[in-house]
Chain A
Amino acid sequence: DTGVSQNPRHKITKRGQNVTFRCDPISEHNRLYWYRQTLGQGPEFLTYFQNEAQLEKSRLLSDRFSAERPKGSFSTLEIQRTEQGDSAMYLCASSSGTVRGQPQHFGDGTRLSIL
C-alpha cells in the first residue's frame, strides 16, 4: 500500500481554464477529505466524503468548485473558470473511521499555479 495518491503533482494553467485533480485514498478507507493550503498557512478544510456521499462542504468551496467520489473509491476535485486566488496546494486525506477515532493520512498534494 503506497498510501494516499494524488495526480497530477503539479498543474500550471491559464486563468479561466478548468482543472481536475484526482485522489486515490488508502484502499480500505471509507472517508476522504480535501484541504487547500496556501503559502505560510496550515491546510484548510474544503469538503468531506463518507463512501460516495459528500457530507460537508466548507464555505471556501465556491460554486466553481465541485468534488465527486463515484462508487466510494477515488475522488476528483474540479475547479471551473480558475482565478489567481485558486493558486494553492490541494491536499487529499483519507481515514478509516471518524476524525476522533482514526487519524487522517495525507497525500503529497497537487500544486496548482494559475498564470
Chain B
Amino acid sequence: AQRVTQPEKLLSVFKGAPVELKCNYSYSGSPELFWYVQYSRQRLQLLLRHISRESIKGFTADLNKGETSFHLKKPFAQEEDSAMYYCALAVLYNQGGKLIFGQGTELSVKP
C-alpha cells in the first residue's frame, strides 16, 4: 500500500533549537518525496524535493530507503518557521500521477 506517515501532529520548540519533522513512507516503487509547507493564511507551497538535494530556508531532508524515511531537519529553528508541514510521496502512473500526503505536522517555534 502507498502511504505517508507523519507521526507528530504538533511539534513545539524554542527559537534556536534544532528541529526534526518525521516522515515515513510505504511504496513498492522508486520513491520521490517532497516537503510542502503552509504558512498561516497562505497556500500550500513546495519547500524541497529529494531529487534536488537542496537546502531551502535552512531545511534539509535526506531520503533513507532502508528506513523508508524522509525526515525534515533544521539546525536552528526561527519563529518564522512556524507553519504546517506536509510530507508527500509522488506515485507515478498513467502518464502522470498523484501526490500522497501525510496528515501534516504543525511546527510551533516559540521565542
Contact = CB atoms under 8 A, between A and B. Distances in A.
Given A56-B96, A99-B96, A99-B99, 20 more contacts: A42-B86, A42-B88, A42-B101, A42-B102, A42-B103, A43-B99, A43-B101, A45-B98, A45-B100, A50-B95, A50-B96, A98-B92, A99-B32, A99-B92, A99-B97, A100-B90, A100-B97, A104-B46, A107-B43, A108-B43
A23 interface: no
A14 B46 CA distance: 35
B11 interface: no
What's the interface size class on B, roughly? 20 to 34
27 contacts: A3-B43, A31-B96, A40-B9, A40-B103, A40-B104, A41-B104, A42-B102, A42-B104, A45-B98, A45-B100, A50-B96, A56-B94, A58-B98, A93-B99, A98-B92, A99-B32, A99-B92, A99-B98, A99-B99, A100-B32, A100-B90, A100-B92, A103-B34, A103-B49, A106-B45, A107-B43, A108-B43
Interface residues of A, number: 27
Interface in A77-115: 91, 93, 98-100, 103-109
